[in-house]
Amino acid sequence: MAGNHFNEWAGFDCEWELYPSKQAQEDWITAYVSGLKEWRGREIPPSEVSGLMKEVELLQLASHLYWALWGVLQVRQA
């Protein structure tokens, strides 16, 4: 989810300067995870955030692939 979320920050015009910095991504992930029931009231270890950041990087690529394939299929159906 977060991989596509961060990709969407660039918008439809792919303004990559709007893409969140690594620190902004870490802050967002930390805030998101801290809202989950199992983490409420507990400090999130940096290793947990680091692990999630690695997953997000992979999911960002998967999101790009998904939308590229979607675009190809849309052109073929036109």
pTM of the model: 0.79
Q: What pLDDT score was predicted for residue 78?
A: 72
Q: Which of 49, 51, 63, 43 is nearest to 1 (CA)?
A: 63
Q: What pLDDT score was predicted for residue 22?
A: 93
Look at the chain and report how many structural domains it folds into: 1
The single-letter DSSP state of residue 36 is S
What is the residue range of 18's domain? 2-77
CA distances from 72 to 4, 15, 29, 54, 61 (A): 18, 21, 31, 28, 17
Mean pLDDT by groups of 10 residues along the chain of 78 residues: 87 90 93 85 89 94 93 89
